[in-house]
Structure 1
Amino acid sequence: MSGQAPSHAPSAATIETLARDALARIPEPFQTHLADVVLIVEEFADDETLDAMGIEDPFDLTGLYHGRPVGEKSAFDSGGLPDRIHLYRRPILDEWCDTGVPLQVLVAHIVVHEVGHHFGLSDDDMHALEDAAG
């Protein structure tokens, strides 16, 4: 059976497992701040999210960070929702099929990008973090 293509699309649970593995590989000092971030895998972003971001095609959004970047948090922040990383399964699978990038690599890239937003990192910083987490 080895070498055969999968007979079904990876589930939300599979993508969540890949994302949690990617989160676990992110090095310190970032790791300490990720303990409270909630990871959510959904089929697509909801209409409200897409509208807020000015995105018409739901396949154009693979992931999204909701919350305040670490540098903008305050000791007075309490009672609010926890920071969340949303991953959108169908757009991820679409990109996986279109690019041929291994699913584990693609999910890790998206997770690192969203974590980068959590920390307010630049694109260059995110690429360095991705290399470190690889």
Structure 2
Amino acid sequence: MAISFDKAFGIHPEALSLRLKRSEVLASNIANADTPGYKAKDFDFQAALSGARKEYSTSLTRTSDKHMSFSSSMNDGLQYRNPLQPDTGDGNTVELMAERNEFLQNQLRYNSSLQFLTGRIKGLKKAITGQGQ
């Protein structure tokens, strides 16, 4: 009997990829905390994951090189964050403590997703090798 990795892993690889991309966006915000005029960016993880679910459930195949490729890029949903604190005069909207908090929460969720996938892979490996009977 064949093992379907799509069924075994579901949407979790896409969620892991989105968490990684969000970490990069948040790290960029933290790195630019002192850059005058820099605007903090983020994206709605739930909306991006919903887009990944739709793409996951709707498999589109290009039958010609002239056809446009379809992908729900996370960059399409990248938005500027509305600051909670008043402008300090340099136009920078990064709130360092809030960005660090978001980064740490995202990292915890990334680790949880990774742990889930690792457990799933271990379970599949046991099933393939016949262990655990």
TM over 0.5: no
Determine which structure has greater relative contact order: mean sequence separation of CA pairs < 8 Å that are 6+ residues apart, divided by chain length: 2
Q: TM-score, normalised by structure 1?
A: 0.30
Could you say which structure has the larger radius of gyration? Answer: 2
Which structure carries more strand by proportion? 1
Which structure carries more helix by proportion? 2
Q: TM-score, normalised by structure 2?
A: 0.30
